[in-house]
Structure 1
Amino acid sequence: MNPTHHRRRQLRSVGTITAGAALAAVLAACGSTAGATAQNAGAGTSSGSSAAAGQPVSGGTLTLALDGDPTCIDPAQTSLTNTLSLGAQFTDTLVDQDFETGEIVPALAEKWEISDDATEFTFHLRDGVTFSDGTPLDAAAVKANFDGIIDLGAASFLGSSYLADYVGTDVVDDSTAKVTFKTPNVPFLQAAATATLGILSPATNKLTADERCQGELVGSGPFVLSKYDLTSQVVLTRRAGYAWPSAAAEHQGEAYVETVVLPIVKETGVRAGGLQSAEFDGIFQPAVQDQDALEQAGFTLTSRANPGNVQSLFANTFRPLVAEEAVRQAFQKAIDRDEFNATLFNARYAVPSSVLSPTTPGYTDLSADLVYDPEGAKALLDGAGWTVGADGIREKDGTKLVLKLLSSEATKSAAELTQNQLKEVGIGVEIEIPESSQSFKVRSAGDWDYTFSGLTRADPDTLRRDFWSGGQPNSAAHLTESPLDDKILAQKAEVDTEKRWAIVAEIQKEIITQGYDIPYGSQLQIYATRDGVQGLRLDASSRLRLYDTWVQASS
C-alpha cells in the first residue's frame, strides 16, 4: 500500500473540527526542530519570502498543494488569490512593483510617460520578448489585451474597474503603446502591475471567455501553463529561453524550477498531512489552527498581509435602519476586534486598524476610532430613541432594530460572532447565507443591511471599487450619493502622491467614523514549506512569485 495515500485517508477521517489537534499530535511525533517564519504585516517593510540558503539550484520539481479549485484559471476573469498567483507565473506585466516598497519598476515596459492629467499612458516595450507560442509581444499585443478586457465586460470585473473610462490603446509603433482614458486614472499604472492585466497573446484574446477559463492561455511569463485539470491539478513548466524578468526579480535568465505541480486539495488537514509526509513540498493557506504546529515541526511559514480593503462588513445605506448614522456608529463601537482575532485568527494576523491594510500605500492608522466601546454604543442608540425591549432587542416606533447580514459559508463564523457581540448592545441580527451560485445576484439585489467582503490590491483605489456610489452593484458597500463620492474620485485624479495620500486619509476617516465599513479581520497570504524550498516570494500584492524559487533535494 502506498504510505502517502494511506496518510491522506487517515487525515480525511479526522474531520474538520479536530483536524488541528490531530495535526499537532502527528507533527509532535516527528520530533522535528522549531521552524522559521518569514512574515510581513506592515506597510513599507520587507515582503514575505522564504529564507535562501546556499547557491540556487536549477531544475527539479516543486509540488505545492493549492487550497481550492481556481474555478476559472484566466487571471483576467477572477479575484481569487490562488488564481491570480498562478497567473503571475505564466504572464508578464507592463510594469511591476518593488516587493518591499511598492514602487513601480520596469517590466515589459522599459520606460513610460504619463500625461499631466493622467489620461494618457505611453509604454515603451522591451525588444525581443515573445509569447510561449513564439509570437512577438509588441504594442499590437498590448492593445489586443486591453481591448480584450473590455470585451470580456462583467466577466472581468476587476479588469473593467482598472480600465474605467477606457478610450483605447494606440499602436504608435511596434514597441510603443499609448493607453488613453476619458478621465484621469492615476491608479492605472499600479493596475498595470497586476496579474489581472497580465499580457496574454493575441490568439488568447480571440477566444471566448469560457475557453479562456478552461486554460487555453498563452503568456510570456517564466512558466508555461501546460496542464489544467478542473478540480484535480495545475502544472507549470519552465519557459525555455526566458530572458526578460522585471526589475523586482532577484536573478536573470530562466526560472530555476523546471516543473511546478499544483494538486488541488481543498481539505486543510489533508494539505497539512501531505506536507508532513513529504507528498508536498509546500501548501497554500495552512489553516489557522495548523500554523503553530507546522512551525514547531520545522516547516517554514512565509506570509504577508494582503494590501487593500481588510475583511469587513460593508454597509447598505439604502436600507432604513442603516441609513441612521447612530445605528452605524453604534455598530462600529460594539465590535470587539481583539475577540475576533483571538477566536478566528492568531497573532500572525494583525487586528485591523483602518478600512485599509497597513501594507497598502496611503494607509492611515485609525485604531483610536476602532476602540471597543459597548457603553458608547448603548449611549448612541439611547440618544437616537432606540429602547431595549423585553427580549433585549431595541425598538423604536414599533420597529425592531434587527440587521440582516449577508454572509457565506466562509464568513459564517464571523457572522455568528458579530451576532453575539451586537446582541450585547441590543441590536438583533439575522444571518442569510445564499447558495454560492446566487451570492452575486443576492448581493446586487440589495436586500441586506451589511455584507462581508474584502479586496486585495496594492493601491488605495480599492476604496473607489467598494465605496463609490457609482460602482453599484459591483461595489461591496451600497451607499447613497454623498460628498464622499467627490473625494473618492478626487484621489483617482490626483497626480501628486502626497496630496493623493492626504485625500485617501480623509476617505478612510469618513468611512470608519460613519460606519460605512466595520473592519473585523486581516487577510493574510501564508504558505508552509519544507526547509529545502528556497526563495519563495510574495509580491507587493501578496501574490506568490516562483521565478526566484529553487528546491533542494529532501534530506
Structure 2
Amino acid sequence: MQQLRLTRTRRAALAGLAGVVAVSLSACAESKRDEAGGGGSGGTMVFGNTGNPKMFDPTFTDEGETYRITRQMLDTLVQNKPGTADLEPSLATKWEPSNDGKTWTFTLKQGVKFSDGTPFNADAVCYNFDRWFKMSGAAAQSQMIYYADVFGGFAKNEGSATGDPVYKNCEAKDPNTAVLNLNKAKGAFPAAFTLPALSIQSPSALKQFGADKVTQSGDSFTYSEYAYKHVTGTGPFKFESWDQGKGEITLVRNDTSTMPAPAKLDKLVFKVIPDENARKQALKAGDIDGYDFPAPADYGLLRKDGDQVLVRPSFNVLYLGINQSGNPKLKDPRVRQALAYGINREQFVKSKLAEGSEVATEFVPKAISGYTDDVTKYPYDPEKAKDLLKQAGASDLSLKFYYPTEVTRPYLPNPADTFTAISQDLKNIGITIQPVAEPWNGGYKDDVQQFGKQDIHLLGWTGDYNDAGNFVGTFFAREKKEFGFANPELFKTLAQADASPAGDQHAKAYQQANKQIMDFLPAVPIAYPSPAIVVDAKIKGVVASPLTDERFNNVTTG
C-alpha cells in the first residue's frame, strides 16, 4: 500500500494537558487491517528521537533511546498500566509469589506468537531467564546493567558483577505456566518484571543470529547481528531497517501480534534529531509528528501553535556524579559537601527546567515509596563551601567535569546549559573546571560508568518501576567505576532493604538507606525534572507516561 503523508494543520491551542493524552499521526488510505475489522487507519508515524539507539537488544543496555524503540517490539511478563507506574498483565495474565517470596508462578497468555512465527510459551520464558543467568564473557556481563542490579550475579561472574545470584532456575510446568525459583526474596518484585531489559525474546531468533556475542575493543563494544537487525518479540511492531546514515529506524506492523492486537499504524519511523531546536523546526515543517523533551521555554509557543505539550509527572532525578577514585581529594567528605553547598540548585531549577520541576534533596523522587524528607540537606551556601574546601586543604581543587552531547534526556533537557550553570557555581567557590564533552552514544556513558575517567559528571535516572531500589540500589548498592568508592556499611544497608518484604517494611528500610546516603554524599542530587512530550494537534492514541513508557500500538490517523 502506498504511504501518503499529510500536510500539518494547525488548530486551537489545547488546555489542561496533564495525565492521559491521545495521539494520532500522518494519514493514508485505509489498511487491509481496517477491511478485516481491526479499526485502525494505517499510515506512518514519524517521531523525533533525541539520540541514536545503542542497538536493539534491551539485555545489553539501560538507555532510553533504545528502550523507546524496543518497547514497541517486545513485551515483558508484567507491564505498567498506561499513564501510571501501576502494574497490569502483559505476557503473564497472573503472577503469584510463594509465602517466602522465593518462588514466582506465572500464568501465561495463550495463543501468542513471536513475530518470526514461533510460539510464545513457558519454555520461551525459561529460555530467556536462563540466557541472562548463564551469559558468559566479561564484556557481555558488563553491559547487562539491569540484570546485575536486579539479580545480583550470574551463574559464573566474569565481569564487574561479584554478588551471589538471586536467580536459581526456571521450570516450565506446562506450556502456559512458568515457575521462577529464586535463592532469596527480592522486594522489588513484581514491579521489576516490567523492566525492558527483561523483555521476552524469541529463542529461535536469539540462537539463529548469535545474540549473546558481545566483544570489547578498548573502550568500545560490538554486538551481534541479532542486536542490530533481528530483534524478535511479540509486540505490535517488528523491525524493518536501521539507516544509520540518515538516522532513521523503521518498524512495521506485526500482524501476528495479539498483545493486545496488531498495531493500527502501518509503519513507525524514529528519526534521530539530537538538537532540540532542530526537532522543533522539523515538527513545524511537518517532517515529524512529535518529539520528546521540548525546551521548557517553548511550551507556550508550541501550545499557541496548536501543538499538544504533554507534561509528565516527575519520576526521575538529575545528579552531579562524583568519582572518588578520580581525584584523591574527592574522598574527603568535606570536599563532597562543598560541591553540594556550592551549587545553586534553586536558581537552576527555576531558570532552566520545566514547570513542575523541583529541587532534589535525595536520590529518590517524592512519588517513590521509600522517599523521606528526614535527610541531611545542603542548601546553597557558597561561603560555607569555600570554608569546607579550605578545611580539607582543597582550595586549589581542579576537576575534570564530563558532560554529554548529542542527546536530550528526561532529567537533562539541555546538557550544555546544565553544565554551564553548575560549572559556573563551582568556579565561584574557587574550583578550576576542566570541561570534557562527549557524545552520548559516542563514548560518554562507557567513559563515566565503565571506566571512571571523570572526576565529576552529569547523569541521572528515570525510574523503571515504583521501587526505591531502582534508584539508590542501582546507583550505590555495590562498587562501581562511576562513583569510585567502597562503603561496606552502605552496601549492607541497601542489600537488606532490597531483600525486605514489599510494603511498609520495604519503604522504611529504604528511608533509612536514604538517610545514610545523604550523610555519606557519594554524589549530589540536583533536581526532579518534569519532562514533556509534544505532538501535533491531530495526533491521537498515545498515553503520556511518567516512565517515558509511551506505546504507539493504539495510534490512529486523525
TM-score over 0.5 (shorter chain) = yes
Aligned partners of 1:346 and 1:125: how far apart in 2?
41
Give the Cα separation in 2 of the matches to 1:204 and 1:339.
51
The answer (yes or no) to whether the contact 1:123–1:178 under 8 Å persists in 2 is yes
Give the match for residue 225 of structure 1: 239
Deviates further, 68-77 or 403-412 = 403-412
Number of the residue aligned with 2:199: 198
Q: Indicate whether 1:266 and 2:274 are aligned.
A: yes
The aligned residue for residue 21 of structure 1 is none
Could you say what secondary structure the match of 1:466 adopts?
helix
* 1:47-68 Cα deviation digits (max 9, x unpaired): x53489xxx9622322222222
The alpha-carbon deviation at position 441 of structure 1 amounts to 4.3
Question: For 2:525, what is the secondary structure of its paired residue?
Answer: strand
User: Are 1:321 and 1:403, in contact at CA under 8 Å, matched by a contact in 2?
Assistant: no
The question of 1:140 aligning with 2:146 is answered no
State the Cα distance separating 1:95 from its structure 2 match: 0.7
Which residue of structure 2 aligns with residue 408 of structure 1? 404
Matched ranges for 1:25-424 at <5 A:
33-36=12-15, 38-39=17-18, 46=19, 49-50=21-22, 58-61=40-43, 62-99=45-82, 101-150=84-133, 151=135, 152-164=140-152, 165=165, 166-206=167-207, 207-208=209-210, 209-230=223-244, 231-240=246-255, 242-245=257-260, 253-305=261-313, 307-308=315-316, 310-318=317-325, 319-365=327-373, 369-381=377-389, 384=391, 386=393, 395=395, 400-409=396-405, 411-424=415-428
Root-mean-square deviation over aligned CA pairs? 3.1
Change (3 A) 1:269 1:431: closer
**Deviations 1:105-141, CA, capped at 9 Å, x for gaps:** 2221121222344333221212111112221111111
Q: How far has the Cα of 1:366 moved from its partner?
A: 6.4
Compare 143-152 and 293-302 and name the one that shifted more: 143-152
| 1:38–1:51 contact (8 Å) kept in structure 2 | no
Distance 1:158 1:469, change over 3 A: closer
Instruction: Report the alpha carbon displacement of residue 323 of structure 1 after superposing the two structures with TM.
Output: 2.0
Assess if the C-alpha contact under 8 Å between 2:187 and 2:502 holds in 1: no
| Kept after mapping to 2: 8 A contact 1:98/1:539 | no
Q: Would you say the 8 A contact 1:335–1:372 is kept in 2?
A: yes
Contact 2:355 2:530 in 1 (8 A): no
In structure 1, how many angstroms separate the alpha carbons of the residues matched to 2:334 and 2:53?
A: 41
Q: Distance in 2 between matches of 1:361 and 1:228?
A: 39
Aligned counterparts of 2:528 and 2:539: Cα–Cα separation in 1: 26
Output the amino acid matched with 1:317.
Q
Amino acid of the structure 1 residue aligned with 2:258: A
Aligned residue for 1:19?
Answer: none
Distance of 1:335 and 1:367 partners within structure 2: 18
Whole-angstrom CA distance in 1 between matches of 2:495 and 2:230: 37
Q: Distance in 2 between matches of 1:465 and 1:432?
A: 25
Extract unaligned runs of 5+ from structure 1.
1-6, 8-26, 40-45, 246-252, 387-393
Whole-angstrom CA distance in 1 between matches of 2:380 and 2:168: 47
1:64 touches 1:262 (CA, 8 Å); kept in 2?
yes
Summarize deviations over 1:409-452 as a string: whole Å, max 9, x none. Answer: 36444333222212333344333346733752465444543332
Structure 2: distance between partners of 1:141 and 1:193: 17
Gaps of 5+ in 2: 1-6, 25-37, 153-164, 211-222, 408-414
Shift of 1:536: 1.4
**Identical aligned residues as a percent:** 24
Alignment partners' CA distance in 2, 1:541 and 1:31: 29
Residues 97, 540 of structure 1: 8 Å contact kept? no
Matched position secondary structure for 1:179: strand
- TM-score under structure 1 length normalisation: 0.80
Q: Match of 2:377, SS?
A: helix
The 1:68/1:316 distance shift into structure 2, 3 A limit, reads closer
TM-score by length of 2: 0.79
User: What secondary structure is seen at the aligned counterpart in 2 of 1:545?
Assistant: coil
What is the DSSP-based 3-state SS (H/G/I as helix, E as strand, rest coil) of the residue aligned with 1:111? strand
| 192-201 or 98-107, larger mean C-alpha shift | 98-107
1:542 matches 2:521: no
Q: 2:82 & 2:233 partners in 1: Cα distance?
A: 22
What displacement does 1:529 show?
1.0
Report the alpha carbon displacement of residue 381 of structure 1 after superposing the two structures with TM: 4.4
Change (3 A) 1:513 1:159: same
Tell me: CA distance 1:365–1:256, structure 2 relative to 1, closer, same or farther (3 Å): farther
Determine the C-alpha separation between the residues in 2 that align with 1:415 and 1:101: 31
Q: Distance in 1 between matches of 2:331 and 2:54?
A: 37
In the alignment, which residue of structure 2 is the partner of 1:15? none
Does the residue aligned with 1:240 lie in a helix, a strand or coil? coil
Matches within 5 A, 1:465-544: 465-470=474-479, 472-473=480-481, 476-539=482-545, 541-544=547-550
Question: How many correspondences in the alignment?
Answer: 493
Distance in 1 (alpha carbons) for counterparts of 2:438 and 2:251: 35
Q: How far 1:336 sits from its partner (Å)?
A: 0.8
Q: 1:510 to 1:368 in 2, by over 3 A?
A: closer
**Alpha-carbon distance in structure 1 between the residues aligned to 2:279 and 2:418:** 24
